[in-house]
Structure 1
Amino acid sequence: MDLYAEKAQVTQAERVPTSPLRNDKNEGVGVLARVPSVATIQSFAHLNEKAILRKMDMRLIPMLAALYLLSFLDRGNIGNAKIEGLQEDLHMTSDQYNWCLTVFFFTYAAFEVPSNLLLKKLRPSRWLPTIMVAWGVVMTLMGIVQSYSGLLSARLFLGVAEAGLFPGVAYYLTMWYTRDEIQLRQALFFSAASIAGAFSGLLAFAISKMDGVGNLEGWRWIFILEGMATVIVALLAYLFLHDFPETATFLTEEERAFVVFRLKYQGQGIPAKGAGVEDGLVRPRVAQAEEFRWDYVRQAFVDWQIWVNVFVYWSIVCPLYGISLFLPTIIRNLGYESSTAQLMTVPIYITAAILAVIVAHFSDKMGKRSPFIIGFLCMMIVGFAMCISTSNPRVVYAGVFVATCAIYPAFPGVISWLCNNLAGSYKRSAGMAIQIGVGNLGGAMASNFYRQKDSPRFILGHALEIAFITAGIIASVILLTGYASINKKRERKMREGGLDNYTQEELSRLGDKALTFRYMY
């Protein structure tokens, strides 16, 4: 049955009574003081769902976007610093510079799963700003490094500090929004990366004019000022971030109960015995906070879909980091001055951000992920093929434009596709961290794609991007056919009465392996 069908109107007398519950802060999720003891979708028919979503959007998305904007700005501004003289002033070779890019991803990948598990146990409103303060301090200190070894060490610690933000926020959003709403919110959050790319060029152009102030080079001021800005925003985040729907003070008790209810039954088909079904209405027991079990983490590590999805992730993240780390260099090597190269990145990123939001809206509306992802992967191949086929600056710039405008809409799609198909909060937390952690090793690879000795055409770098994108298309098709096959098998088993063999508790423990769960593709 469709729990999100048109709601029937009910009177005040028909509303379900409420009962008190405990507040268990040790689980990191506060349970509502008063929620419906017996709930149906009709119990909430009088609520304005769109108004509640707007309220959530206004309280959550702007602050999360600001956090990610600064995160992406701080990890990618080394590309802007490079064309302002970083490599020459620290007497680094091009290979040493590439190593400074690469080591960031080693620690970044290693600490993502532990950080996501801590986010579930601790309060997001404390954990996320804390790690943000840490990387802001590291970024500021990068402005005073005096050697290759100093920069290398700073990038290692930057990876440790930044590791928890993106997978943490991507998972955090799944605790507020349903499967068919999540990509738009992921896109709004992730579009901050596009804006960061544009903002980075403008900011670097302006800050580089401080060259000589305080006897410091302009590229040092890029690190120092952007690091200080990160710390300031992190302190504000302590005040403005919210934890979970169950404890959201900007929602009424009834609105909090509704948000929890709609999340509990997303992705499920027919309720199992013991769920409480009368007249076609689901009357669930009040959900308690899910207890942590290492088995949930193990399930994530052995789930086939996560590892296949990693290849799709690589096909997007390799071009993403290739573009973000080297776009100013690529444009400068086409014959433009460094200041012009910084400014020419701006229209690319702005256009990509707008497209990401528009595409996410239609993907959520259609309830489909794979057609958009595969389509944009094909578009990326066209863009990089334009870059590799000629040395004409205008054609190369157009190719980069096309590729970037495909990368940024595709990225929220691949994140949403996996989180839509993982059930159980701890498994989803671990699974998304694996996807993003292992997936971001693609950034380590991409940071070595564009070697200085291959300039100005960077044929090897563009060819490697095309190879990864092709692998991603193949992996997407595997996921698509696998999901469709499993859904059909589950539907057949349910028609044969297979659901009678399970209780509600057993299906809950099975998560996305339950007969009632349907994969989104």
Structure 2
Amino acid sequence: MPSISSSPSVDTLTGSFLDKEDKINTTVFPVRCASEVEELSPAERARLLRKLDWHLLPPVSLLYLLCFLDRANVGNAKVAGMSADLHLVGLRYNIAAAVFFVFYSLWEVPSNIILKLFRPSRWIPTIMLSWGLVMTFMCFVNTYQGLIIARMFLGLTEAGLFPGVNYYLARWYPRSDRGLRVALFFSAATLAGAFGGLLAYCIEEMEGIGGLHGWQWIFCLEGLATTIIAFGAFFFMHDYPETASFLTATERYNITELLKQDSQSLATHYDFQFVLQALKDYKSYIQMGIFTGLLLTVYAIALFTPTIIDELGFSAANAQLLSVPPFVVGCVSTILVGVASDKLKIRGPFVIGGAFVSLIGYIILYTQTSPGASYVGIIFAVAGVYPTIAVTITWAASNAGGDLKRGIVIAMVNGFGNLGGIGSSFVYRDPPRFHIGHGTIMSWLSFSMLLSMFAMWNYNRINKQKEEQCRRDDITQDRMHEFQNMGDQSPLFRYTL
């Protein structure tokens, strides 16, 4: 067997840096020419994807559950007494919630570029360890100024996880199978909303232990859990299909070929021209607008649901517990919509439909005064909007051709969308009816629906133009190598509606 250099090299398929072990793994592919490649049967394909699911989705879902739990627990801490202890009068709580998103949004694109250049099994756990430590030490916050600084660092350290994992999953699953997987991953956010209320209810009882308030224990214990899991993530995360130890040589070959066919053999290496393709594409900004309206709604729900329920007349403890059922419903609806959107191979109608259901919930919240009716409105709001996040990020990723452009677009969409968190932090300031907050969210949901309708029309229009070009110029699949650097501008690339 020929000797292997100890210096890192770049794999031509993944564009990522490989170490000795990775190079050895990639040399065991069966040697076949293109004419010898046999298409997998539906049963074989399903079995292979299920194997990926069992090894990939539980770890990344756990990471995101902890991420969203640590991000949104400030809402539970507020209800648990933080507001009084830190003298969060006026807009102080809103400002503390908002500063997170400024630094979070700025770091997403750079983080995904770093992820492209280095191994996911090292970069993603490093991100997690960083924010876990920040969250743990937030238990020592005892002033408003300290809370602001802590939230700034939390935003900076959490920034790379959501876009990074979405980019990571795009390196494992074909476009038509990605919606359900992203939905399962994102459903962890809804579980975080449910667990957040339940944990806060239990942890509040630790008031005074160790000289800490109950809300400080919320930060401490949830941060410690994240830190412990982060150390484990260095050992249970995998990098890419080409180096996956849980796959056989044949399985690695099959999933690699499946992904190559799905991507139309578009470029996977790093080149700054692909960054520019993402930045100059107007369709990236349409997806950013859609996602902003939806994510603004999600963060408003995560940050203020305990407060809204509290203002309905329930006690603080009951407000924590009553925040659980809406998120459980949101988790179920996220998974169901992910299954349906993959089966039908469309995204836009599910974005529009989910936003409409959420809009109904906010209309109820805006118009009704009874606690029972308002609580039903909260359930509609959560059940409608949470599925749209997974579908929209899958939609954006599927319609960005080329590996690096896809990573940049995911980071752009999520990064800009998270600026909506700044807006959601300030709109809920008129208790107990919160007309300003509910009315603002209704406007943004309507905006996302209209942009989604335009995006569907536009993608369909471009697909027809490409089909005409292929007929006119006799462009067939065997010429795909001619367009490998064109990204989704390739005449062979088709957008998902």
Shift, 1:45, TM fit: 4.0
What's the counterpart of residue 467 of structure 1? 443
* Alignment of structure 1 residues 237-276 onto 2, 5 Å: 237-266=233-262, 268=264
What's the counterpart of residue 5 of structure 1? none
What's the counterpart of residue 28 of structure 1? 17
Shift, 1:92, TM fit: 2.2
What's the counterpart of residue 320 of structure 2? 342
Q: Classify the secondary structure of the residue corresponding to 1:520.
A: coil
Of 436, 440, 460, 2:414 maps to 436
**So what's the TM-score if we normalise by structure 2?**
0.94
Amino acid at match of 1:255: E
What's the counterpart of residue 278 of structure 1? none
Count matched residues.
483
Whole-angstrom distance in 2 between the partners of 1:110 and 1:401: 32
Whole-angstrom distance in 2 between the partners of 1:262 and 1:433: 25
Measured on the aligned residues, the alpha-carbon RMSD in Å equals: 2.1
Structure 1 residue 94 corresponds to structure 2 residue 90:
yes
Shift, 1:353, TM fit: 0.5
Q: Counting helix residues as a fraction of each chain, which structure ranks higher?
A: 2
Structure 1 residue 398 corresponds to structure 2 residue 379:
no
Whole-angstrom distance in 2 between the partners of 1:69 and 1:39: 42
1:34-78 deviation digits (Å, cap 9, x = unpaired): 334413585354782222111110110000000000000000000
Structure 1 residue 353 corresponds to structure 2 residue 347:
no
Shift, 1:392, TM fit: 1.3
1:239-279 deviation digits (Å, cap 9, x = unpaired): 100000110000011111111111112164xxxxxxxxxxx
- Do 2:480 and 2:492's aligned partners in 1 also have CA atoms closer than 8 Å? no
Q: Classify the secondary structure of the residue corresponding to 2:270.
A: coil
Of 448, 462, 472, 1:486 maps to 462
Whole-angstrom distance in 1 between the partners of 2:340 and 2:477: 38
1:457-485 deviation digits (Å, cap 9, x = unpaired): 00000000011111111111111111000
Whole-angstrom distance in 2 between the partners of 1:291 and 1:417: 22
Of 484, 488, 497, 2:473 maps to 497
Higher mean Cα deviation, 501-510 or 454-463?
A: 501-510
* Alignment of structure 1 residues 149-298 onto 2, 5 Å: 149-266=145-262, 268=264, 290-298=268-276
1:285-333 deviation digits (Å, cap 9, x = unpaired): xx9x833111111111111111011111012111100000000000000
Structure 1 residue 59 corresponds to structure 2 residue 55:
yes
Whole-angstrom distance in 2 between the partners of 1:42 and 1:361: 29
Structure 1 residue 50 corresponds to structure 2 residue 52:
no
- Do 2:109 and 2:408's aligned partners in 1 also have CA atoms closer than 8 Å? yes
- Do 1:107 and 1:159's aligned partners in 2 also have CA atoms closer than 8 Å? yes
Q: Classify the secondary structure of the residue corresponding to 1:180.
A: helix
- Do 1:21 and 1:33's aligned partners in 2 also have CA atoms closer than 8 Å? no
* Alignment of structure 1 residues 307-322 onto 2, 5 Å: 307-322=285-300
Q: Which runs of 5+ in 2 are unaligned?
A: none
Of 358, 367, 371, 2:349 maps to 371
Amino acid at match of 1:443: G
Q: Classify the secondary structure of the residue corresponding to 1:265.
A: helix
**So what's the TM-score if we normalise by structure 1?**
0.89
- Do 1:386 and 1:395's aligned partners in 2 also have CA atoms closer than 8 Å? yes
- Do 1:421 and 1:519's aligned partners in 2 also have CA atoms closer than 8 Å? yes
Shift, 1:28, TM fit: 2.8
Whole-angstrom distance in 2 between the partners of 1:415 and 1:504: 26
Whole-angstrom distance in 1 between the partners of 2:384 and 2:194: 16
Whole-angstrom distance in 1 between the partners of 2:477 and 2:442: 48
Higher mean Cα deviation, 61-70 or 295-304?
A: 295-304
Taking a change above 3 Å as real, the CA distance of residues 313 and 259 of structure 1, as seen in their structure-2 partners, is same
Amino acid at match of 2:349: P
Whole-angstrom distance in 1 between the partners of 2:340 and 2:388: 13
Whole-angstrom distance in 1 between the partners of 2:460 and 2:79: 48
Q: Classify the secondary structure of the residue corresponding to 1:448.
A: helix
Q: Classify the secondary structure of the residue corresponding to 2:422.
A: helix
- Do 1:267 and 1:519's aligned partners in 2 also have CA atoms closer than 8 Å? no
Amino acid at match of 1:138: V
Structure 1 residue 506 corresponds to structure 2 residue 491:
no
